[in-house]
Amino acid sequence: MIREIKTEKVPIKMWVDEIDESAMAQIKNLANLPFAYRHIAIMPDCHPGYGMPIGAILATENVVIPYAVGVDIGCGMVALKTTLKDIDKNAIKDVLRGIRLHIPLGFEHHKRPRNEKLMPFSGKAIFSKDNDYIVTKSEYNSALRQLGTLGGGNHFIEIQKATDGYIWIMLHSGSRNLGYKVANFYNKMAKEISGNLPYRVPRDYDLAYLMADSREGVCYLKEMQYCLEFAKNNRALMLKFIKQVFSEVTHCNFENEINIHHNYVALEEHFGDNVFIHRKGATSARINEIGIIPGSQGTPSYIVKGLGNPDSFKSCAHGAGRKMSRNEARKSLDLGQERAKLEQQGIIHSIRTKRDLDEASSAYKDIQGVIDNQNDLIKPEIKMRPLAVIKG
């Protein structure tokens, strides 16, 4: 830990040295919530978000906050090791072409629904047994076409060369529009019923809450869990397509698949109490737990092992973290310089126009600094250097 702030209702434990003013204001809001448990943990990739900043961990007792999870419920990472020790550029380009044929990017969906057995709970039978799935039931048919799609923003597929000597595949994606709809539905509900709840939270915090044991809280937790399963299955289906393409082009095999979330809430035991841990842009890092901390486009990523530090609620960073907003990056970064930086490294990249500069590596924090700032939370196991990137 780098420093601790004790000026608010509960302490703020920080693993970040420099922090954006607006993110700091959001952190202080968290620390002054009447139901915040013990302390707030802030990771080195922290930057502003909706209500709660990205890269923060909040613990509560019997309270859940939709915007402390965020609108991309279940966003997370997959990493997969191949049996390849090298891959040439022509093969990489063939793989990228095949991936683009199988996986819709950005706002695109599949033209036909995917197999219902790939949906959470193997289809829609759950809706006839349980009336608590309000949003996911209404969005089900749309979600069937979103399953196996990447999405936009900072979601990506990368081919990487690792320090273990092998080629790896890494993928970052979430629950698509389904998670967005669930988050906003329950955030709106939380605001509407706030006057009837026991704790007062200023509206400008944008951290409206639900009691976890209330009808509304139970419904949110069920639909949030549904989105987690959907996001996990979404990554798994994309990985199936990617493996198929890799096998056709290179005839390789695969091992050591890792599939994790970094936007969710879970009931866990910490400091002897059962509390709801909200991780928004943060990864579970229990002792010896394997995690993934990706870099930005053009910088290394890491497979890490958790150290189970109780002060971070056994968590770590989820990535490099932004140092520029998307608009700031598009306005201030030089397209030629950002392209040249990637091309000098021999990376097949996705920076084509000024519109893409929001995902340039210069818009993100230094990944090595992020890793170094949490050496009491994780132990780096494998470092991966990007060879090719597909961005949503």
| Domain range 3-323+364-391, CATH architecture | Alpha-Beta Complex (3.90)
pLDDT in tens, the chain (392 residues): 999 999 999 999 999 998 999 999 999 999 999 999 999 999 999 999 999 999 999 999 999 999 999 999 999 999 999 999 999 999 999 999 999 999 999 999 999 999 999 999 999 999 988 999 999 999 999 999 999 999 998 999 999 999 999 999 999 999 999 999 999 999 999 999 999 999 999 999 999 999 999 999 999 999 999 999 999 999 999 999 999 999 999 999 999 899 999 999 999 999 999 999 999 999 999 999 999 999 998 899 999 999 999 999 999 999 999 999 999 999 999 999 999 999 999 999 999 999 999 999 999 999 999 999 999 999 999 999 999 999 98
Give per-residue pLDDT as tens, 130-188.
Answer: 999 999 999 999 999 999 999 998 999 999 999 999 999 999 999 999 999 999 999 99
Catalytic residue among 39, 47, 155, 318: 318
Burial 336-354 (b: 16+ CB within 10 A, else e): eebbebbeeeebbbbbeee
CA atoms within 13 A on the CB side of 292: 22
Q: What is the dihedral of CA 280, 285, 291, 296, to 10 degrees?
A: 50
Query: Catalytic: 102?
Result: no
Residue 179 exposure: Cα atoms within 13 Å on the Cβ side: 28
Q: Which residues are CB-contacts of 74 (< 8 A; sequence separation ≥ 6)?
A: 174, 175, 179, 227, 228, 229, 230, 231, 232, 261, 263, 264
Residue with tokens 């990205």: 54
pLDDT at 187: 97
- Residue 392 confidence (pLDDT): 82
- pLDDT the model gives residue 365: 95
Residue 6: which of 36, 40, 35, 37 has the closest Cα?
Answer: 40
Contact residues for 275 (Cβ-Cβ < 8 A; gap 6+): 37, 59, 60, 61, 267, 268, 269
Whole-structure pTM value: 0.96
Q: Are 234 and 173 in contact (CB under 8 A)?
A: yes
CA 88 – CA 387 distance, rounded (Å): 10
Cα–Cα distance between 168 and 134 in angstroms, integer?
39
Task: Mark 60-81 as b/e (b = at least 16 C-beta within 10 Å).
Answer: bebbbbbbbbbbbbbbbbbbbb
Copy the structure tokens of residue 51. Answer: 């209500």
Dist CA 249 CA 78 (whole Å): 21
The residue assigned the tokens 């961990």 is 57
Contact 119, 231 (CB under 8 A): no
